[in-house]
């Protein structure tokens, strides 16, 4: 299927929609998931028009992986998370709902159930605070 640049992440990349940004470089952008499955749920997207991993060119796949690798310790630290779930869904059959490829970084803890996927909108002031915590942790690890 052809990439549809009216998807929400394409709009965020073009600056047409706001996001709570935590990191950006020339090939990737990372921001808070607006309907987090756990506190600190962060998304990493490549600045490349691909729906999924099958369409993504290798250098942007590498860039996305490197940004995940860079952010993961900061998310872990910011939310004092004993574990992190890092997932990337390809196609509606896999549960993908936004058709610009992205990787989820989700803090996990024993006994803490995940919230439903893409269901409940978080409070924006809370998301702003969570983004600030990750940015601070990133600064400490730089």
- Catalytic residue list: 102
Report the C-alpha dihedral over residues 67, 69, 75, 78, rounded to 10 degrees.
-110
Minimum gap (Å) between residue 114 Cβ and ligand 5GP: 11
Residue 71 makes contact with ligand 5GP by CB under 6 A:
no
Residue 128 makes contact with ligand 5GP by CB under 6 A:
no
Using the rule CB under 6 A, give the single segment among 21-29, 55-63, 90-98, 107-115 that binds ligand 5GP. 90-98
**Alpha carbons 84 and 104: distance in angstroms, whole number:** 10
At 96, list the tokens. 């993908």
Choose, by CB under 6 A, the member of 85, 96, 122, 135 that binds ligand 5GP.
96
Pairing of strands 83-87, 103-108: antiparallel
The size of the interface with ligand 5GP (CB under 6 A), counted in residues, is: 14
Using the rule CB under 6 A, give the single segment among 52-60, 64-72, 96-104, 132-140 that binds ligand 5GP. 96-104
**Alpha carbons 61 and 55: distance in angstroms, whole number:** 10
**Phi and psi of 68, rounded to 5°?**
-60, -45
- Interface residues toward ligand 5GP, by CB under 6 A: 8, 19, 31-35, 89, 95-98, 117-118
């Amino acid at each position: 299927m052809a990439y549809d640049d009216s998807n929400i992440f394409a709009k965020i990349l073009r600056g047409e929609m706001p996001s709570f940004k935590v990191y950006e470089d020339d090939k990737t952008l990372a921001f808070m998931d607006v309907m987090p499955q756990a506190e600190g749920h962060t998304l990493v997207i490549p600045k490349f028009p691909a729906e999924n991993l099958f369409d993504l060119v290798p250098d942007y796949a590498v860039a996305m992986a490197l940004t995940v690798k860079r952010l993961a310790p900061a998310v872990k630290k910011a939310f004092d998370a004993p574990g992190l779930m890092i997932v990337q869904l390809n196609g509606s059959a896999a549960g993908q709902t936004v058709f610009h490829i992205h990787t989820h970084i989700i803090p996990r803890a024993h006994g803490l159930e995940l919230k439903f996927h893409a269901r409940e909108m978080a409070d924006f002031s809370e998301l702003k605070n969570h983004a600030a915590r990750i940015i601070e942790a990133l600064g400490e690890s730089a």
